[in-house]
Amino acid sequence: METLSENRCFGGTQGVYRHRSDACACDMTFGLFLPAEAADGPVPVLWFLSGLTCTHENAMTKAGAQAWAADQGIALVFPDTSPRGDDVPDDEAYDLGQGAGFYIDATQAPWDEHFKMWTYVADELPGLIAQAFPLDMDRQGVTGHSMGGHGALTMAMALPGRFRSVSAFAPICHPTASDWGRKQFAAYWGDETGWGPHDATLLMQESGFDGPMLIDTGTDDQFADLLGTEHLAQAMAARRQEGQIRLQKGYDHSYFFIASFIEDHIAFHAEALYA
């Protein structure tokens, strides 16, 4: 693993690292914030999964998460959203290809060689950082934005026991019923009969999550019709799922929205991670 940068940040260290990924068959870059407490031993971990077009850098520099994570003594992991490189296939559309991995494993050409983001985020990267950094992998939470909110919700429900808490900012809640989902699933998986169980609304209907959930979405979100928030809300109510969906008046889909409520989300995760 190569260290690209390490900067002092709120008493801890914000690092950026690159490594060769077996899952994605290319070099991958991620950000990791370690609070000051990491100098004395393993600390809890909060994953932040970013949305369409983002790299590891967007949330790392725009969300304002490090200050609140430092207060709570929690590490932050910022993975990339897709494989990248000259040999990695791409599409001219912003919502397919590089920057749009959707946190699933592709099975269809030309995507199947590199686009294994479920395996990368769920298996490979956790194993790598657990060996290299003082992290308590028995205390993990996960959050994300938009496409990354979809990833956070589906990983939390599909990997029972992995995460103590899950939250999301304007997540794609029902991708199998949205153009943000059906388009990408068709490209990465082919015919609908081969689509995997990577839909938060369907997973909620089937199994739910064995911990608390917090979801914030803005009432002025410009992509509201693509998110399917109401579908997840109905599924949560039917299952009596522990959690909240909050509609924040006047907020849109931007990082200004995330920065406005990131303190709430980190405090929410801290309560679960330190319980």
Give the active site residue among 21, 50, 82, 146: 146
152: nearest Cα among 190, 102, 109: 102
Helix (H, G, I), strand (E, B) or coil at 44: strand
Question: Residue 158 and residue 53: Cα distance in Å, rounded?
Answer: 25
Number of C-beta neighbours around residue 7 at 10 A: 10
Give the active site residue among 21, 50, 221, 269: 221
Specify the residue for token string 């028995």. 138
61: nearest Cα among 72, 70, 50, 71: 50
Number of C-beta neighbours around residue 216 at 10 A: 24
217: nearest Cα among 203, 231, 207: 231
**Using an 8 Å Cβ cutoff, are 206 and 177 in contact?**
no
Q: Where on the phi/psi map is residue 107: left (φ > 0), alpha (ψ -120 to 50), or beta? A: alpha
| Residue 221 annotated among the catalytic residues of the structure | yes
For helices 255-273 and 65-72, give the axis angle rounded to 10 degrees: 10
| Element housing 77 (H / E) | strand 75-78
Q: Report the helix count and the strand count for the chain, using DSSP H and E.
A: 10, 9
Give the active site residue among 145, 150, 198, 253: 253
Tell me the C-alpha to C-alpha distance, in Å, between residue 269 and each of 68, 201, 202, 262, 272. Answer: 11, 22, 24, 11, 5
| Residue 5 annotated among the catalytic residues of the structure | no
Catalytic residue ranges:
146, 221, 253
